[in-house]
């Protein structure tokens, strides 16, 4: 099946950031076959069976990549947003009380809808019952890099600490080689596993040659623990353990000293930058300019709906621009084009998929997004990058294609109904909401 996308401003995000003001993209099956101007497209001869997809004069960009999420935490949204030490006092216990296999599945479906409708075509996830998240990805058609959490305490899907290691191995065996789902090993954080188990989870990632993602340098108590127990930073301890590698995707990285950044650069570690959840938690602004200078790949991460609240990158684009510019007192830092680049190619590099995803180039996967420019907030639009970063929000996303299949058109999901998915989630949330009441003083 061939699809010709016409009447769009194409932001290719290739090496030169080539833009076609009146461009066309030909998709053949799951891949991009041709990219060019309307004039160039006249000589493409795609054949009689080509489907024409009119972009309505909107902006066509590569699918957005969300490099850090806990998609099934949807039921937690707006619970305890302003509560101190929330993770340990509230999130972990409530998760163990009330998170179930079915709730993970239904929440994942709902969260994936939110991401697709916001132009996210690939996401990295860390949670429990991760096979349910994988099922949801297949049903809705999004690309997922999914990791079962490994942590040194009992969880909702494993009564024994570190049960996630075995669960994770089963999950990898079950899903490796899937068209949309890539299994990942996901040790929770530097502070919530023993050094030995950090290493063992890394060995699991090596054994199956899959990515390894973990929360790093996110918490003050984490930095303090490593200072007092080892006299080192978490990243130095990770280096000692031999778990810094091209496959390592470190989420957050707020508290990064020079040496830690050098270690990341030397070992090819990439970063999931979660500006929304980090600043909402009052933690700080990760030193992305310094990391970029060292060549460290970085993409955006929404984090879960309990930490970042919305699962879209448009919110993060603005937060990122405003916080980084303010932090460094420099309006010229990160022009809008660089921010869109980080949301597309940056994310693709962070997950080692830069040859397949992240830009609109011939031969790459057809993961594409059209943002309309007809809405009240989108006019005028002199600079399309500025419009995406500073004017747009998720509701301007009109059309989304993943792997050559149109999943969103006219701002509506095509494969399933959002209303139905929401209803199913709501029905499943009863016991969870009841359990949340036990934490009344925190919510
Ligand atoms: Zn997280």
CATH number, position 269? 3.20.20.140
Which of 166, 239, 241 has the alpha carbon at shortest distance from 199? 241
Please tell me the distance between residue 189's alpha carbon and the centre of ligand 1 in angstroms. 9
Look at 95 and 145; give whichever has higher pLDDT: 145
Do 394 and 379 share a structural domain?
A: yes
Say whether both 37 and 120 belong to one domain.
no
Quote the pLDDT of residue 439. 81
Q: What is the pLDDT of residue 429?
A: 95
Mean pLDDT, residues 173-202 taken together: 98
Instruction: Please tell me the distance between residue 324's alpha carbon and the centre of ligand 1 in angstroms.
Output: 20
Local structure of 264: helix, strand or coil = helix
pLDDT average, residue stretch 41-61 = 95
Long-range pairs, 46-51, Cβ under 8 A, ≥24: 46/2, 46/4, 47/2, 49/1, 49/2, 50/2, 50/3, 50/4, 50/26, 51/1, 51/2, 51/3, 51/4
Give 270's strand partners: 249
196-214 burial code (b ≥16 CB/10 A, e <16): ebbbbbbebbeeeebbbbb
On whether both 268 and 122 belong to a single domain, the answer is yes
Please check whether residues 57 and 75 belong to one and the same domain. no
Q: Could you list the residue range(s) of the whole structural domain that residue 133 is in? A: 64-350
Q: How confident is the model at residue 234 (pLDDT cuts 50, 70, 90)?
A: very high
- Residue with the bigger pLDDT between 88 and 125: it is 125
pLDDT of residue 336: 98
State how far the Cα of 299 lies from the Cα of 249, in Å rounded to an integer.
Answer: 10
pLDDT reading at 325 higher than 80 = yes
Dihedral pair phi/psi, residue 173, rounded to 5°? -60, -35
User: How many angstroms does the Cα of residue 113 sit away from the middle of ligand 1?
Assistant: 19
Starting at the edge strand that comes first in sequence, how are the strands of the sheet with 368-371 ordered? 31-37, 19-28, 2-11, 51-62, 368-371, 397-402, 405-409, 412-413
Cis peptide before 380 (omega within 30 of 0): yes
Q: How far is CA 293 from CA 258, 261, 287, 412, 438, in A?
A: 12, 10, 10, 40, 47
User: Above 90 in pLDDT, residue 91?
Assistant: no
| C-alpha span between 69 and 302 (Å, rounded) | 6
Residues 243 and 100: their CA atoms lie apart, in Å, by 31
Inside any domain, residue 421: no
Number of helices (H), then strands (E), belonging to the chain: the values are 18, 16
Helix 163-175, helix 130-140: angle, nearest 10: 30
User: Are 250 and 216 within 8 A, CB to CB?
Assistant: yes
Look at residue 82 and tell me if it is in a domain.
Answer: yes
How far apart are the CA of 290 and the centre of ligand 1, in A? 22
Mean pLDDT score across all residues of the chain:
96
Number of domains into which the chain is organized? 2
Question: Other CB atoms closer than 10 Å to residue 107's CB: what's the count?
Answer: 30
Return the minimum-mean-pLDDT range out of 10-14, 28-32, 75-79.
75-79
Q: How far apart are CA 400 and CA 424, in angstroms?
A: 24
The reported pTM is 0.97
- Cβ atoms of residues 123 and 343 within 8 Å: no
Task: Please give the distance, rounded to the nearest whole angstrom, from the Cα atom of residue 84 to the centre of ligand 1.
Answer: 17
CA of 413 to the centre of ligand 1 (A): 27
d(CA 306, ligand 1 centre) in Å:
10
363 in a domain, yes or no? no
Cα R_g (the chain), whole angstroms: 21
434 assigned to some structural domain: no
List, in sequence order, every beta strand (DSSP E) within 396-435.
397-402, 405-409, 412-413
> In angstroms, what is the span from residue 20 Cα to ligand 1's centroid?
37
Distance CA 143, CA 25 (A): 21
> Which has the closest alpha carbon to 426: 87, 91, 102, 69?
102
pLDDT tens track for 17-50: 999 999 999 999 999 999 999 999 999 999 889 9
309 with 171, same domain: the answer is yes
Provide the pLDDT for residue 85.
80
- Please tell me the distance between residue 43's alpha carbon and the centre of ligand 1 in angstroms: 48
Find, among 265, 389, 304, 317, the residue nearest to 78 by Cα: 304
For residue 79, what pLDDT is reported?
A: 87
CA atoms of 250 and 274, how far apart (whole Å): 11
pLDDT in tens, 356-389: 999 999 999 999 999 999 999 999 999 999 999 9
Residue 320 is predicted with a pLDDT of 98
Q: Calculate how far, in angstroms, residue 129's C-alpha sits from the geometric centre of ligand 1.
A: 16
Predicted pLDDT at 82: 87
Asked if 72 and 52 sit in the same domain, the reply is: no
Please report which confidence band the pLDDT of residue 97 belongs to, taking 50, 70 and 90 as the band edges.
confident
> CA 87 to CA 49: how far, in whole Å?
54
pLDDT for res 307: 86
Average pLDDT estimate for 392-418: 98
CATH of the domain at 15: 2.30.40.10
Any idea which residue has 């349910």 for tokens? 132
128-179 residue pLDDT tens: 999 999 999 999 999 999 999 999 999 999 999 999 999 999 999 999 999 9
More confident residue, 318 or 80: 318
Question: 398 Cβ partners below 8 Å, 6+ apart?
Answer: 56, 58, 370, 371, 372, 408, 409, 410, 411
Residues 75 and 108 in one domain: yes
- The DSSP symbol for 155 reads B
Q: For the segment 130-141, what is each residue's pLDDT rounded down to a tens digit?
A: 999 999 999 999
Whether residue 313 lies inside any domain: the answer is yes
The pLDDT of residue 438: 85
Q: What whole-number distance in Å separates Cα of residue 416 and Cα of residue 30?
A: 20
Same domain, 287 and 388: no
Instruction: Tell me what the mean pLDDT of segment 237-257 comes to.
Output: 98
- Residue 115 within a domain: yes
- Ligand 1 centroid distance, CA of 61 (Å): 26
Q: What's the 251 CA to ligand 1 centre distance in angstroms? A: 7
Question: Could you tell me if residue 185 is inside a domain?
Answer: yes
Q: How confident is the model over 249-300, as pLDDT tens digits?
A: 999 999 999 999 999 999 999 999 999 999 999 999 999 999 999 999 999 9
**Does residue 443 sit within a domain?**
no
Residues 245-249: what's their mean pLDDT? Answer: 97
Residue 55 token pair: 């972009």
């Amino acid at each position: 099946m061939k699809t010709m996308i016409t009447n769009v401003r194409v932001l290719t995000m290739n090496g030169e950031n080539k833009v076609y003001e009146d461009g066309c993209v030909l998709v053949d099956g799951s891949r991009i076959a041709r990219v060019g101007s309307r004039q160039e497209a006249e000589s493409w001869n795609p054949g009689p069976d080509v489907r024409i997809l009119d972009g309505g004069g909107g902006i066509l960009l590569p699918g957005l990549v969300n490099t850090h999420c806990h998609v099934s935490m949807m039921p937690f949204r707006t619970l305890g947003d302003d509560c101190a030490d929330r993770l340990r006092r509230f999130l972990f216990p409530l998760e163990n009380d009330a998170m179930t296999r079915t709730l993970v599945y239904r929440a994942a479906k709902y969260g994936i809808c939110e991401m697709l409708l916001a132009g996210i075509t690939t996401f990295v996830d860390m949670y429990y019952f991760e096979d349910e998240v994988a099922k949801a990805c297949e049903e809705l058609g999004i690309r997922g890099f999914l990791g079962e959490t490994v942590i040194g305490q009992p969880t909702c899907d494993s009564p024994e600490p570190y049960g996630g290691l075995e669960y994770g191995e089963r999950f990898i065996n079950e899903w490796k080689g899937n068209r949309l789902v890539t299994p990942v090993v996901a040790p929770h954080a530097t502070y919530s596993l023993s050094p030995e188990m950090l290493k063992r989870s890394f060995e699991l990632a090596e054994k199956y040659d899959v990515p390894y993602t973990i929360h790093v340098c996110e918490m003050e108590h984490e930095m303090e623990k490593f200072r007092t127990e080892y006299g080192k930073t978490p990243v130095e301890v990770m280096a000692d353990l031999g778990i810094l590698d091209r496959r390592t995707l470190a989420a957050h990285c707020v508290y990064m000293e020079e040496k830690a950044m050098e270690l990341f650069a030397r070992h090819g570690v990439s970063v999931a930058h979660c500006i929304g959840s980090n600043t909402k938690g009052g933690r700080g602004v990760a030193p992305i300019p310094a990391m970029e200078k060292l060549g460290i790949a970085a993409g955006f991460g929404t984090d879960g709906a309990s930490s970042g609240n919305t699962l879209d990158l448009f919110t993060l684009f603005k937060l990122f621009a405003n916080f980084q510019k303010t932090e460094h007192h420099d309006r010229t830092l990160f022009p809008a084009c660089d921010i869109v680049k980080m949301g597309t190619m940056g994310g693709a590099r962070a997950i080692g998929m830069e040859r397949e995803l992240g830009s609109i180039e011939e031969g790459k996967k057809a993961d594409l997004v059209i943002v309309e420019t007809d809405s009240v907030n989108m006019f005028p639009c002199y600079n399309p990058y500025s419009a995406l970063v500073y004017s747009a929000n998720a509701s301007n996303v009109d059309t989304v294609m993943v792997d050559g299949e149109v999943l969103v058109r006219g701002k509506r999901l095509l494969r399933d109904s959002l209303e139905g998915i929401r209803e199913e989630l709501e029905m499943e949330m009863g016991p969870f909401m009841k359990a949340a009441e036990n934490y009344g003083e925190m919510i």
